[in-house]
């Protein structure tokens, strides 16, 4: 069993130091005019085990807690950290650490939530990137600003939500997105991006893209603004939610009921990372052409698939993995969950290498049987 998260940086042995004396081996960092260096919260040799929901062992040579945009600029302007490679860390719920991290880890802890404005069409709500996503969902609901309930209980931070355009139960973040603020990790400049600039796709955005105009690893999101449409309308198209409606006999549920249904479905289906380390769905659901889909259905009529508007088809990755007989199988202490083939778990003491070896074996066997390449959803570091 893993220890609960949020217990702070674990000492291995870690040293908390002020940036001006962050490294006794080096000359003290010069003070900037703003006294910037003095304000950075730096931890040396920080364990990352408590900072990833898989509970994988890894350490950061340097971890800096980022509480504001100004902190990001202090890092960028810093004589030592400014030039160093950087890795942005939220809640660690979509990461597989396979080794120690030599890049400077920027742990995002920008807090705050507020209603920006209310119009007849929408509530615009803003939250700091370090806020817990689920807390924001629950808070907006309590305030009487519904619209995020289908995305309840997704672990992680607000700032990471646009990175992979989180989605669940028939709704994606992109459908509730207004804009975000991010700081460029090279220039220190703040930019504001709207939905088009974020280039949202299925579990994808400009923050995951490397090519032309891609921002992967280049910026740190500090604040996210969401647009919650008025009047509120429930999103109930997802099969599990339709079942809840039929079973409960509630034809027109309110937002709180949808929230409760989503939480209940998730708790029944997904292992709690506090008890069994995992990163949620390990693979994306592959999208195939209509022709490929017909071919696969011809061979495996039971395959779970969802037709898309453009004629292509999304296949259930969990079904493909299960069909290859992976449920419950393991490599070392890394295993495929007994009930959810799409979820890889840490049975206790797994290494990132074991998780990756298991994932590769699954990819090969699914490719061998169906000719489909599964793409991992978490970031492998
Ligand atoms: C049990 C479980 C269930 C899950 N269910 C779902 C689900 O239903 N739907 C879904 O979409 N996902 C799901 N996930 C995956 C995960 O919760 C989301 O991807 C979440 O948004 C990750 O947030 P995080 O703060 O933990 O990000 P991290 O894991 O810390 O980081 C993920 C990536 O985002 C980058 N990043 C993080 N914060 C920032 C920032 N402020 N600025 C720039 N880059 C940043 C990191 O560098 C990294 O590349 C689940 C995970 C678990 C463990």
> pLDDT tens digits, residue range 273-286?
999 999 999 999 99
Q: Are 221 and 177 in contact (CB under 8 A)?
A: no
**Dist. CA 216 → ligand 1 center (Å):** 14
Q: Using CA atoms, how far apart are residues 16 and 32, in angstroms rounded to an integer?
A: 21
Q: Using CA atoms, how far apart are residues 205 and 198, in angstroms rounded to an integer?
A: 6
Task: Tell me the domains of the chain and their CATH numbers.
Answer: 10-108 (3.30.43.10), 113-229 (3.30.465.10), 277-380 (3.90.78.10)
Residue 94 in contact with ligand 1 by CB distance below 6 A? yes
281 is catalytic: yes
Question: Given a cut of 80, is residue 253 above it in pLDDT?
Answer: yes
Instruction: List pLDDT tens digits, range 70-93.
Output: 999 999 999 999 999 999 999 999
Q: Which of 110, 151, 154 to mutate to test the pocket of ligand 1 (most atoms within 8 A of CB)?
A: 154
Output the average pLDDT for the chain: 89
Atom nearest to 53 CA in ligand 1: 53
175, 266, 369, 377: which is the annotated catalytic residue?
377
Half-sphere exposure at residue 380, Cβ-oriented, CA atoms within 13 angstroms: 15
Q: Using CA atoms, how far apart are residues 161 and 272, in angstroms rounded to an integer?
A: 19
pTM: 0.89
Could you tell me the pLDDT band of residue 381, with boundaries at 50, 70 and 90? very high
Residue 161 in contact with ligand 1 by CB distance below 6 A? yes
Question: Given a cut of 70, is residue 105 above it in pLDDT?
Answer: yes
Q: Using CA atoms, how far apart are residues 139 and 228, in angstroms rounded to an integer?
A: 13
Q: Using CA atoms, how far apart are residues 295 and 293, in angstroms rounded to an integer?
A: 5
Tell me what pLDDT residue 38 has. Answer: 53
Q: Which residue, by CA, sits nearest to atom 34 of ligand 1?
A: 160
354 is catalytic: no
Residue 101 in contact with ligand 1 by CB distance below 6 A? no
Q: Using CA atoms, how far apart are residues 77 and 58, in angstroms rounded to an integer?
A: 27
Our measurement of the distance from residue 159's CA atom to the centroid of its chain's CA atoms, rounded to an integer in Å, reads 9
Q: Using CA atoms, how far apart are residues 195 and 193, in angstroms rounded to an integer?
A: 7
Question: Given a cut of 60, is residue 18 above it in pLDDT?
Answer: no
């Amino acid at each position: 069993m893993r220890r609960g998260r949020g217990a702070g940086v674990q000492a291995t042995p870690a040293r908390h130091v002020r940036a001006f004396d962050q490294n006794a081996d080096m000359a003290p960092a010069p003070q900037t005019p703003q006294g910037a260096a003095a304000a950075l919260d730096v931890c040396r040799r920080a364990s990352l085990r408590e900072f990833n929901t898989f509970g994988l062992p890894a350490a950061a040579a340097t971890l800096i807690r980022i509480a504001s945009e100004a902190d990001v600029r202090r890092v960028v302007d810093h004589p030592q950290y400014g030039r160093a490679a950087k890795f942005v860390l939220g809640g660690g719920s979509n990461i597989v650490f396979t080794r120690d991290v030599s890049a400077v880890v920027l742990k995002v802890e920008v807090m705050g939530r507020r209603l920006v404005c209310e119009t007849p069409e929408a509530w615009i709500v803003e939250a700091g990137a370090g806020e817990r996503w689920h807390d924001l969902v629950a808070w907006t609901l309590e305030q009487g600003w519904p619209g995020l309930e289908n995305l309840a209980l997704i672990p992680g931070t607000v700032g990471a939500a646009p990175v992979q355009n989180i989605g669940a139960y028939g709704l994606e973040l992109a459908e509730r997105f207004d804009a975000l603020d991010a700081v460029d990790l090279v220039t220190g400049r703040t930019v504001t991006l709207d939905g088009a600039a974020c280039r949202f796709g299925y579990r994808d955005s400009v923050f995951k893209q490397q090519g032309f105009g891609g921002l992967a690893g280049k910026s740190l999101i500090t604040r996210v603004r969401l647009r919650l449409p008025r009047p509120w309308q429930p999103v109930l198209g997802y099969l599990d939610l339709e079942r809840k409606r039929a079973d409960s006999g509630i034809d027109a549920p309110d937002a709180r009921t949808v929230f409760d249904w989503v939480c209940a479905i998730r708790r029944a289906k997904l292992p709690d990372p506090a008890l069994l380390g995992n990163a949620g769905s390990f693979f994306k659901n592959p999208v195939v052409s209509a022709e490929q889909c017909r071919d696969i259905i011809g061979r495996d009529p039971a395959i779970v698939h969802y037709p898309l508007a453009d004629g292509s088809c999304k296949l259930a990755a969990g079904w493909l993995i299960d069909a290859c007989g992976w449920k419950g199988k393991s490599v070392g202490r890394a295993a495929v969950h007994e009930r959810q083939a799409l979820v890889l778990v840490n049975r206790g003491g797994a290494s990132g290498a074991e998780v990756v070896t298991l994932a590769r074996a699954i990819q090969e066997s699914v490719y061998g049987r169906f000719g489909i390449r599964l793409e991992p959803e978490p970031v492998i570091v």
